[in-house]
Structure 1
Amino acid sequence: MSVECAGPGPRPDEPPAPDGVRSFDDLVHRLRALRAWAGLSFRELHRLIVATRRRRGVAELPSLDAVYRCFRPGRARMDVELVCDAVRVLLGQASGVTAWRQACLVAAGSASEASIVTVATELPGDGGYFVARDAELSRLTGLGAAVADAGARPVVAVVEGMAGVGKTRLAVRAAHRLVAEAGCDFPVWVNLRGFDADRAPADPAAVLDELLRLLGVSGGRTAGLNLARRAAKCRELLAGRRPLVVLDNAGGDDQVLPLILGCSGGAVLVTSRQHLASVPAVERIELGAFDRRASVALFREVLGDERVDAEAESVGRIAEAVGRLPLALGLVAARAQSASGWSLADHLGRLEERHGHLHLDTGIDLAFAASYEQLTDGARSMLHLLGLHPGSAFDVFAAAALGGVGLPEARAQLAELAAAHLVQDAGRDRFEFHDLVRIFAAARATDNCPRTRREEALTRLFDAYRYTAMVAMDVFAPHDIQRRVRVPEPGVVTPRFTDEHAARDWLERERANLVSVAFTAVGHGLPGHAVELADILFYFLVPAAYYQDAERLFTLACQHAEPAALGAALSGLGIATWRQGRHTEALEIFDRSVRAHRENGDRGEEARDLCNSGSIHSLLGRDEEALRLQRRALEIDRSTGNRTGELFSVGNLGITCRRMRRYDEAMEYFEELHLISREVGYRHGEGVALSGVGGVLADLGRHREAVERHRSALEIADEMGARGRQRIGYNDLAESLCALGRLEEAADGYRTALDIGPGAGDPCEEARAHEGLARCAAAAGELAAVREHRARAASLCELLDPARIGPQLLPPAGEEKVGDRQR
C-alpha cells in the first residue's frame, strides 16, 4: 500500500467544513480536503490518533490501514469514532468535531437503519401446520441435553436453506420446545434482516446493546463499549442462566459470530439462506424443498384426507408447479381451504394460467400471485399498502391508517391476509411479513396503486404515528404537556391509553417504527414530521437511555427545523450527546442552542440549556462555573414566571451545592424543589427533593433524620413504580442504616436494591449496592463475600464514564434525578 503525503501549497485560513454532505463519497472528499489543509501525512495522522486515544484510555487502537481507508471513496460504511478522532487531530482541537459527527450520521442514511433493532423476549406464536420436519425438530430439541452439559459455552445449531423452505417455522417450533422442556429460562428472538430488500441488516453491536438493556444495563453505559466488550458484558450478565437466543434470517458469519460470543451457556439457533461456514455449530441442518410425500402430507394437514385422496393427481401437480416449497404449498393449501366451490383441479388450472401469462420464475412467486388473485378487493388493497410500511411489524391501527378504513374493516382484511398466509402473527396482536411477501406486496403497490394514493396512505400513517406518540407522551410524561409540540388529529382511528404503563408499553413496542417513520417522512417531503417526532419523543428516549435513537432523530431535526424550532432540536441533540459521554461536544451544541433560543426570544428554553451546560460543568468538576450558569437559569425562570423551569433549576442547584459541600444552600434548594413539585403536581420531583434532603442530612452525620427522608422518598418511588428511584432509595437508606451501626438492616437494603433487577437503570447504583454489601461483610469478617462484592462493583464500574465515579459512588445526574434540565 502506498501512503501519500499531503502536497505543498498555501494553507487557507479556515479549514474545510462538512456542510452539505449527503453521502460517504461527499464525506471522503471533505476529509481529503481537510487533511490537505492540515498538511499531515497518513503516517503522522495515524500516530497522533493513536496517541490521543491512549491519553483518553481508549483500548481500541486503529491500524494505519484503517485510517487510510477512511479517506478512500466508494465506502459502504464508516467508523464514525475514527473519523471524529481524525478530524480532532486535523483541526488541532475538539471544537468543530460535532459538525463532522453529524455529517457522518447524514451520510450513513439507510445505514442508520442497521441500528434500529428489535430484540424480543417473547417467541413468535407456534400456531399453524407443521409437517415432515420431525427428524430435524428432534435434532434441535435434542440440544437440551447438550445445554445441560456445556457449562458456560453456548450450544449452537444452524438451519440453512433457500428462501421459503420453512427455516423460521422450524426454529419457532424448536424454540418453544426448548423453553418448555430443556429449562431455557431467557428466550430471545432477533430478526437480523440479513436478506431484507428494503432495510439494512441488523448491526450486531445494536443487537448486543438491546440485549444488555434487557439485562438491566442502561443504554448510556454501553455507548463507549466496542463490540468485544459488549459481548463480554453480555456473557457476564448471562452467567448462571440458560438463555435461548434465536438469530433469524442471518446474512453471514460476521453478523452471527459476535452474538454467539455474547452468550454464556444456553442455546443459540441460527437460520440463514447462506452457508455459515465459520459458525461453530454442533448441529447443522440443511433444509430443502419437500419431496412429493411431504407435499401431500401438508395438503392432508390443511384439507383433510378425504379431499386429498379424491384429487391426488391434482395435489401432485400443484406441488410440482410451486417447486414443492413449503411456503408456497401452504399458500395454495390455505387458498384451497377458504375458496368454496373451487376444486383442486381448478386451483391447478389457475396456477398454470398464471405461469403461462406472466412467466413467473419461481414457485413462490407463482403461489403468491395465485393467492393474491383470490383475495377480496379490500384485502388486496390492504396488502399493497402494508408493503409501504417502513417498519418490520405493525398493528391493526397502522393497517387502518394505511388503508384509510375503520378498525373492524382493518381487522377483517388482516384476518383474510393471515388466513392466506400472506401476513404472519408477530405476537401481542401485531403482524409482520415474510421478507419475500414484503417484496411482492411492495411491487404490487407500485404496479397497482397510483403514486398519489400511495403518498396519501403514507401521510395518513405518518400523521397517525405522530399523533399517537403525542397522546402516549401526554400520559407518560404529563408534566411536559405545556411545552410539548401539539399536532392535529389524523382523521383515522388511533389507540388510547388508560395509564402510564399502557403508554410506555406502546412507546417501547413502536420505538423502532417511530424512528423509521421520521426518516421515511423526510424522504417523502414531510420533514416537519421528523422535527415534531423528535420533540414529542424526547422524554421517552432520553430517560429510557435510547441515546443513539435520540441522537439520530435530533440530528435529523437539526437539518430540517425551521429557525423557530432549531433551538429545541439542538437542545435534544446536546442532551443525547452528553448522555453518551461526549461532554465537550455537548457543551458546544448547548452554546449553539442558547444562541438560537436567545435569537427567538425564548427565555425559558435559554434557561434550560444554561442549566444543562451547568450540569456538564459540574460533572467535569467545574463547580463554580456550574453554579454561575444554573443561577443565571434560575434568574431567567423567576423573571418569566416559569415554575416548571424553576423546578429543574433549583433541583440542579441543590445537587451542585451538595457536591460543593454548601449544605445550607443545598437544603434550601431541595426544600424549594419539594414545594414547587407539589404545586405543579410533579410527584417524581417530590421524591427527588426528599432524597436530596436525606443526602444532605447524611453528609452532615444526621443519619436518624436522613433515614426518615429516605423512607418517604421510597414511598413515592414505590407508588410510581419507578424502579431506578427505588434502587437509589434503598441504597441511600442502607448507607444511613450502616452509619448507625444497623448492619443487618443495611445489608437487607442493599440486597433489596439488587433484587429490583433489570430495568432499574444505572450500573453505578448496582455497583454502589455491591460496595455496601462488601462493607457489611467486612464488618462481619466474611472475607470471601467482601472479595465477591468488590469484584462485582469493579466490573460494573467499567461501564461508567470516569467523570461520574466518585469516592462514594454517588448516583449521577440522570433521568431518575432532576440532574439535568431535560425539559
Structure 2
Amino acid sequence: MVHGVDTRPPDRLVRDAAGARTVDDLAALLRALRRRHARREGQRVLSYRVLATRAGWSHTAVAEYLTGKTLPPTDRFDVLVGLLGASPVERGVLASARDRVDERRRVTVPTDPAVVPADPVVRAVPRQLPPALGHFSGRRAELAQLARLAPATDPARQITPAGTVRIVAVSGTAGVGKTTLVVQWAHQVADRFPDGQLYLNLRGFDPDGSVTEPATALRLLLDALGVPPAQVPTDLRTTLAGRRLLIVLDNARDSAHVRMLLPSSPQCLVVVTSRNQLTGLIAAHGAQPLTLDLLHPADAAELLRRRVGQRRCAAEPAAVDEIVARCAGLPLALAVVAARAVIAPQMPLAALATELRVARHRLDALAPDDPQLGVRAVFSWSYQALSPSAAQLFRLLGIHPGPTVSAPAAASLAGLPVTRVRPLLAELVRANLLNAYPGGRYGLHDLLRVYAAEQARELEPGSACDAALRRLVDHYVRSAYQADQTLQPNPAPTVPGAARPGVVTEIPTDSQAALTWFAAEHTVLEAVFDAAVAAGLGAEALHLTQVTYTYLDRRGHWSALTVLQRSALQLARRVGDVAAEAVAHRHLARAYTRTSRYAEADGHLGAALELERGRGDLARQGLTHLNLSLLRERQERHRDALAHGRTAYEFYAAAGDRRGEGKALNVVGWQHARLGEYAETLNCCGRALQLLRELGDGPGQASTWHSLGYAYQHLGDPDEAAVCYQEALELFRRLGDRHLEALVLSSLGEVGSDTGDLAAAEACWGAAVRILDSLRHPDAEPVRAQLNGLTGRG
C-alpha cells in the first residue's frame, strides 16, 4: 500500500471493466471498487457524504455517479476511482471503460424486438420489420396507393383527426405476396415513423390452428415496446399516445382478430394483411381496402428475370412464358422456381418448365379439383430437388408447432448435431422453402407448412413422427430448465431421466442470456405445451409449466402465467400427479397475489398446503408458507406474515434445506422490520445474507439486501440504507425482476426524500412509476402520490 493506493496485480475488476457497455455497468464497477476498498481498509464503505467531502463535490453528484444516473466527466471519474483505491493498471482500464460507455451513448442502437430493455427510463424504439426482398418487382399501383396513406414527414402537416388512426386492410389469396408487398413498402417509409416499426405474424391461417390470440398478440407488442404487461389491457391507446409508429399485423384471421391491437394516435399507421376481406375494419374503423390479385404475366416475367438474370431469360422466352403460366401468377411459386434456377445455373429453363409440367400432371391425377394445385406442383417440384437429408428436415419442420424455430430446436427435431443441421437449413433457405429471420430463427410460410406436414404424413412412418415430436418437446423442456436454473437456482425438480438420443440442450451462460432465450421462445413454449398434451406427454408438459414460471413471473407476464398454470392444474388432476397439482396451485396463487386477487390466492395456497401435508413434503410446505407470508403482508397482516415466515423456517430446517432456511430467515427479518423491530431484522437478515452468499442465491441475496436497507433507513442511517438498496437494485436488474426493481427504486426515493435530496427522490420515484405503470400494477399509485408530493418542496 502506497498512500492508500493498491499496487497489487489487477483482479476481477479489470475483467469486468472490459465488458462495461452502459452507465449502469460503469456505476456497478464503482460500487464494486467501493466495497473492495472497505474490505481492504477494514472499515465501512465510504458514504456519499464522505466521498463528496474528500472530492469537494456535492453529495447529489456523488450519488448520481454511483447509482448510474449520471456519467461522471473524465476528470471527476479519475478522481473518484483514485479515492476508491484503484491501482494504476485499474485506473487505465476503468478510464477506457468510461470512454467506451460515453461513445456508445452517442450512438442510437435499434432495439431487438425479442429483448426487453434493461433501463426502464429509455423508451424502446422497435425495428421489427423482416428484411425486404432484393428482387422485388411489379405492384406499382399498390405501392403508390400505400404511399398516399403514409403520414407526412412533418408532423405539423398531419391532418388526420385526433382520436383516429390510419388503417390499411390488405387482402388476397395465399401466396399472392401480401407480406412481401407490405414489408417492401414499409422499409421505404420507415423514416416517417421515428418511434419504430412493429411487425407481428398473427398466424390467422396456420394449418395446425395455432392462431396468435388477440391478448397474446397485445402482450407481444407491449414486449417489443419494452412494456411487459402485468394484466393484458383492452387496447394500445395509452401506450402509444403521441407516438409515431408503423404497425404491421400480418395474417389476421378477421377484423375481430386485430380490433384490440389498434392504437388511437393519428400519427400511427396500421397495415393489416389477411386472406379474408376485412369488411369489419373497413366499415367500423374506416380502413382503406387494398386487394391484391395474381401478378400480371408481364410482372411475373419481370420478377423471374430479376431473380434469374435478364440474359438467361432473354435466351429462352418460351420457357419463361411456360414457367409463368405454370406458377399461375403466384409470387410465392415464382420465388421457389427462381431459387431452383439460381441453384442450378447450368440447367436450361426449358428443362425446368418440363419438370414443372410433369409435377403438375402427377398432382392433377391425385387431386384434380385442388384450387392450390399450381403452387403445390411448384412445391413438389422444388422439394424433389432437395438432398435427402434436407428433404427429411423439411418434412419434420411441418411437425413443429411454430411460429419459428432455432437451429438447436431443428437439430433436436431431426435428431442430428447442430453442425449438420445448419447446412440443411441453409439449403432450405436457398430453395426458398424456408424463411430466415434475425437472431438465427427460421419459419415456414403457411402453405409450405401444410405441404411439409402432408409430406411427413405420407413419407415418414408414424413412429418416426412421434419420435421427432418427443425429441422436440424434450429439447424445450431441458433448455427451459437450464435457463430457469440460471435465473433461479434450484427452482424446479430435476428433469426426469436422461435426454433422448439426438436431443440438443441449450444452456445459457448467464441470467441475461437466459432472459433473452425465454423472450425468443416463450410463445413457442406455449404452443409446445399444447402439442405435448395432445401427444400424451403429460409429464413433460407439466414440467414445462414449472420451468417457465420464474420467467413469466419476473417479467410481469402474469396473465400468461395464470392461463398456463390453470392448464397445468387441469392436466395434473387428469393424470393424477399430486405434486404437480400442488405446484400449479402455488404458482396460480403467486400470479393472483401479484395482481391483488387475494381471496383466490388464499384458496390456492390452502389447497397446495393440504396436498403437501398429505405427501409429507416438508420443503414444499415451507415454500407454501413463504407464499402465505407474502400474501398476508399484502393484506397488511404482518403478525400473521411473521408467523408464516417462522413456520417456513421450521419446515426448511426439518427438511435440511439450507437455501430455504436462508430465504425464510430473510422473510422473518423483513416482517420484524414491518413491525418496527429493526434489531431483530439486522440479526435475521445478517444470518440470511451470509447463508445465501455461501449458496450463491442471487434472488435471495437481493431480497435480503432490500430488507437490510429498510431496517437501516428506519434506524436513521440513510447512507447505509442507500448502500444496501443499491446492492438489491443491481441484483434485481441483473435478474430481470422489474417489479422488485421498481420497489427498490421506490425505497431509494424515500431515502432521497428523507435526506433532502429531492432530485434523487424524483429520479428514483419517477423510474419506479414508469416501471409499475408498464406492468399495470396497483403499486404505482402510492409511489405516484409520493412523487406528486414533491411539488412545492423544491
Answer whether TM exceeds 0.5 for this pair: yes
CA distance in 2, matches of 1:725, 1:718: 9
CA distance in 2, matches of 1:577, 1:733: 27
Give 1:509's match in structure 2, choosing from 520, 523, 530. 520
CA distance in 2, matches of 1:759, 1:447: 52
Matches within 5 A, 1:305-704: 305-359=310-364, 360=367, 361=370, 362-478=373-489, 480=491, 483-485=493-495, 487-492=497-502, 493-551=504-562, 552-553=564-565, 554-555=568-569, 556-560=571-575, 562-699=577-714, 703=718
- The yes-or-no answer on 1:191 pairing with 2:205 is no
CA distance in 2, matches of 1:716, 1:292: 61
Give 1:246's match in structure 2, choosing from 245, 248, 262. 248
Residue in 2 aligned with 1:125? 131
* Count of aligned positions: 653
Displacement after TM superposition at 1:331 (Å): 1.2
One-letter code of the match for 2:300? S
Normalising by structure 1, what TM-score?
0.74
CA distance in 2, matches of 1:762, 1:676: 35
CA distance in 2, matches of 1:308, 1:318: 11
Contact 1:462 1:517 in 2 (8 A): yes
Deviation string 1:4-41 (CA, Å, 9 cap, x unpaired) is xxxxxxxxxxxxxxxxxxxxxxxxxxxxxxxxxxxxxx
Displacement after TM superposition at 1:383 (Å): 1.1
CA distance in 2, matches of 1:565, 1:725: 27
Displacement after TM superposition at 1:501 (Å): 1.5
Displacement after TM superposition at 1:619 (Å): 2.0
CA distance in 2, matches of 1:219, 1:761: 5
CA distance in 2, matches of 1:749, 1:580: 23
One-letter code of the match for 2:199? W
Deviation string 1:231-288 (CA, Å, 9 cap, x unpaired) is 1xx3222223212211001111111222114666321111111111232356432111
Contact 1:118 1:191 in 2 (8 A): no
CA distance in 1, matches of 2:714, 2:535: 57
Residue in 1 aligned with 2:289? 284
SS in 2 for 1:354: helix
CA distance in 1, matches of 2:755, 2:601: 41
Q: CA RMSD in A?
A: 2.9
One-letter code of the match for 2:240? L
Contact 2:590 2:601 in 1 (8 A): yes
Distance 1:245 1:549, change over 3 A: same
One-letter code of the match for 1:488? A
Displacement after TM superposition at 1:303 (Å): 1.2
One-letter code of the match for 1:312? P
Distance 1:626 1:264, change over 3 A: farther
Normalising by structure 2, what TM-score?
0.76
One-letter code of the match for 1:324? G
Where does the alignment leave 5 or more consecutive residues of structure 2 unmatched?
Answer: 1-113, 117-125
CA distance in 2, matches of 1:754, 1:580: 16
SS in 1 for 2:238: helix
- The yes-or-no answer on 1:777 pairing with 2:791 is yes
Deviation string 1:383-439 (CA, Å, 9 cap, x unpaired) is 111000012100111221122222233122211211121111232111111111111
Give 2:169's match in structure 1, choosing from 153, 158, 173. 158
Displacement after TM superposition at 1:440 (Å): 0.9
Fraction of identical pairs, as percent? 30
SS in 2 for 1:145: coil
Residue in 2 aligned with 1:269? 271
Contact 1:217 1:762 in 2 (8 A): no
Residue in 2 aligned with 1:732? 747
Displacement after TM superposition at 1:729 (Å): 3.2
Contact 2:326 2:356 in 1 (8 A): yes
SS in 2 for 1:194: coil
CA distance in 2, matches of 1:339, 1:630: 71
Displacement after TM superposition at 1:301 (Å): 0.6
Matches within 5 A, 1:96-115: none
SS in 2 for 1:289: coil
Displacement after TM superposition at 1:712 (Å): 4.4
SS in 1 for 2:248: strand
CA distance in 2, matches of 1:192, 1:690: 43
Distance 1:627 1:605, change over 3 A: same
SS in 1 for 2:289: strand
Contact 1:651 1:673 in 2 (8 A): yes
